[in-house]
Amino acid sequence: MLYADVILPLPLHDTFTYAVPEDMKDDIKRGCRVVVPFGPKKVYTAVVCEVHDRCPDFAEVKSVVTLLDKKPVVTDKQFEFWRWIADYYICSVGEVFNAALPGGMKPKDGDAMKADKKRRRTKSAVVGDLSLQIASSVLSEAQSKAYEEICDSFTTHNVTLLHGVTSSGKTEIYIKLIKKTISEGKQVLYMLPEIALTTQITDRLNKVFGGDMCVYHSKFTDTQRVRVYQGMLEERPPMLVLGVRSSVFLPFTNLGLVIVDEEHETSYKQQEPAPRYNGRNAALVLARMYGASVLLGTATPSFEVYHLARKGRYGYVQLTKRYNDVRLPEIQIVDVKELRRKKLMKGPFSDELVTAMRDAVSAGEQVILFQNRRGYSNFIECKCCGWVPRCEHCDVSLTYHKESNQMTCHYCGRTYAIPDVCPACEEKRFINKGLGTEKVEDLVISLMPEARVLRMDLDTTRSRLSYETIISQFADHQADVLVGTQMVTKGLDFDNVSVVGILDADTMLNQPDFRSYERAFHTLSQVAGRAGRRGRQGRVILQTHSADTDIIRQIVNNDFWGMFYDQMQERKLFNYPPFFRLINVFLRHRENNLLEHLSEEMAMRLRTFFGDKVLGPDSPPVGRIKSMYIRKIMIKVDVKAPTDAVRSCLSSVRDQMLSQTVAHGLTIYYDVDPM
């Protein structure tokens, strides 16, 4: 009798053993998908990780229902990689499996099962003809030099950081490296943050690599993603994968190079659900498994990466000039505090910004306005008593959206009607507080009625199409001004933008997070980098209340080193990354008092291992989401502490906590290297 140990796509820690029916025994292999019954009624798609003849020691062994694959769809390397993710991020392999395979490959019911079979019969459309078109552009001298340095660095380092200012032509260097790797018969993974993976970059690479390339994006339909996954398993798989963080889960055969563009991007980190992995760090591990080189590219390196580059652990190559010697944009600070005092502001706009916008638009140039808040106003407030509407299920005020004329909770997504009267004092008038992109758009239209304005934020880009449409309309100069959240900062390349306006730099600086300065530097430098990419030097107007602070000066002077040096002193003093690793523990329960008590107990248990490096429990800034109260405990772990020991200690503390009857209804999860 044969048995199959399988992984189920669930947060369960073990594999499960099923009997293999006679008619499957010749075909079933490690890496094949099977349908298995689980619990009294359910069936799941699982993946076989071992086939053996050891009879399990429990009485009732259930049988595999269906074998979905004749050939494995999960490779040995993938199993090894899944194990690493599960261990490092303290979750189950089942959760990794669930994230790794597109939904369409894990059908749950009979109908979906049939659909899946049908889909597998249609041949993959991704792999096309293999002849390369020759790229058009000869690199510049600086680019060639950087290219040579990278190739040299690859001979001595597994990982190299390419630190090149915005618009220095990093992408062209990537293209040359990709060609070289493909010509050696090896595959390339080119990773981008979700939001930066646009048609702009896809088209650019498609021109060069055509049918050799496939794109893996979470906005793709399930069918498309299944097709890409299956295409990777074919005899002649795509040689270049351009994808978001989840592309690390694709079945590569012969990976030779991994490029992680915009490596500093915090969106490489998956927040919810588990596995809460960082795509960049996972890619480093993936590359090591294949002996592939890694190139991390950015204009503003993350501290973790820059620190290792400085220590010589990573290779380091720099590009200090923009392509074609275009100068970096001039950043002009506008001291809003002073102007407000003198009543010289037009709403959120200084005269400087208004003039710069008007001049640009009348000269046929374009403007980007950055405000890192969507909606119309952050919240509304009763004019008489100051009452503020809040979400019933989350501890947070509601954001007012004018277009839909309702209030939205940005944590649970629930919408509410605007109240007719204040429930506290029956006043009928409300005031809008704070500034969102919707309001900025309105104000620009009233200031410059002749200008054509587009807005790009989560609300206008719910569908992939509209995101692409906004970018292409702006690129085609169908609009003069683009108002947006951080979405406008991500790697977009527009020819004609001469002015970038940052309406309020302070909200970014004032975040209660040890990374807030680092992040503000990244975001503001990136948004500034959208100005003057081709031709003339661009101009950035940065409005702030903190004009005379070091961090603003460092942003203006593009003084990455100064910012890094200052912040590193603090990180060292307070035991933060990259000197210590952080692991956050989140506990959730419907009952606030019980949660309070349980989280105190958990912190106490953790202190027996980690001593005073355990902080909390605290309520996070939003202490209740979707009716669940939340507590957070932070653990600062010595970078030299053995990860295995740390992990097993954390798993056992969690299991002890959850095994108590009083803990019924409690959820606990770890967030390793939180962003």
Q: How many residues bind ligand ADP (CB under 6 A)?
A: 15
Q: Render the burial of 471-495: b for 16+ CB within 10 Å, e for the rest.
A: beebbeeebbbbbbbbbbbbbbbbe
Q: Identify which range of 43-51, 133-141, 239-247, 637-645 contacts ligand ADP by CB under 6 A.
A: 133-141
- Nearest distance, CB of residue 219 and ligand ADP, angstroms: 22
323 interacts with ligand ADP by CB under 6 A: yes
632 interacts with ligand ADP by CB under 6 A: no
167 interacts with ligand ADP by CB under 6 A: yes
300 interacts with ligand ADP by CB under 6 A: no
- Nearest distance, CB of residue 673 and ligand ADP, angstroms: 26
Which backbone phi and psi does 499 adopt, to 5 degrees?
-130, 130
- 427 is in the binding site of which of ligand ADP, Zn ion, none (Cβ under 5 to 8 A by kind)? Zn ion
430's enclosing H/E stretch is: strand 430-433
Task: Find, among 374, 363, 411, 355, the residue nearest to 535 by Cα.
Answer: 363
412 interacts with Zn ion by CB under 5 A: yes
Binder of Zn ion out of 369, 391, 551, 552 (CB under 5 A)? 391
- 164 is in the binding site of which of ligand ADP, Zn ion, none (Cβ under 5 to 8 A by kind)? ligand ADP
Sign of the dihedral defined by the CA atoms of residues 224, 228, 229, 234, in that order? positive
- Nearest distance, CB of residue 398 and Zn ion, angstroms: 8
Which backbone phi and psi does 33 adopt, to 5 degrees?
-90, 145
Task: Find, among 258, 214, 217, 259, the residue nearest to 239 by Cα.
Answer: 214
279's enclosing H/E stretch is: helix 279-290
171 interacts with ligand ADP by CB under 6 A: yes
558 interacts with ligand ADP by CB under 6 A: no
137 interacts with ligand ADP by CB under 6 A: yes
214 interacts with Zn ion by CB under 5 A: no
Q: Which two tokens stand for residue 139?
A: 């690199």
Q: Can you tell me which residue has the tokens 């991390």? A: 296
267 interacts with ligand ADP by CB under 6 A: no
Which backbone phi and psi does 71 adopt, to 5 degrees?
-120, 145
537 interacts with ligand ADP by CB under 6 A: no
3-class state of residue 293 by DSSP: strand
- 662 is in the binding site of which of Zn ion, ligand ADP, none (Cβ under 5 to 8 A by kind)? none
Task: Find, among 4, 194, 7, the residue nearest to 91 by Cα.
Answer: 7
**Beta carbons of 589 and 629 less than 8 angstroms apart:** yes
427 interacts with Zn ion by CB under 5 A: yes
380 interacts with Zn ion by CB under 5 A: no
Written in H, E and C, the secondary structure of 211-275 is HHEEEECCCCCHHHHHHHHHHHCCCCCCCEEEECHHHHHCCCCCEEEEEEECCCCHHHECCCCCC
- Tell me whether the omega of the peptide bond preceding residue 621 falls within 30 degrees of 0, making it cis: no
Binder of ligand ADP out of 69, 365, 493, 673 (CB under 6 A)? 493
168 interacts with ligand ADP by CB under 6 A: yes
262 interacts with ligand ADP by CB under 6 A: no
- 412 is in the binding site of which of ligand ADP, Zn ion, none (Cβ under 5 to 8 A by kind)? Zn ion
Binder of Zn ion out of 142, 201, 409, 595 (CB under 5 A)? 409
For Zn ion, what does the binding mask look like between residues 596 and 625, x meaning CB under 5 A? ------------------------------
Instruction: Considering the complex, state which of residue 102 and residue 529 has its C-beta at the smaller distance from ligand ADP.
Output: 529
Integer Cα distance of 576 and 587 in angstroms: 22
628 interacts with Zn ion by CB under 5 A: no
Sign of the dihedral defined by the CA atoms of residues 463, 464, 468, 469, in that order? negative
List residues binding Zn ion (CB under 5 A). 382, 384-385, 387, 391, 393-394, 409, 411-412, 422, 424-425, 427
Q: What residue ranges bind ligand ADP (CB under 6 A)?
A: 137, 139-140, 143, 164, 166-172, 323, 493, 533
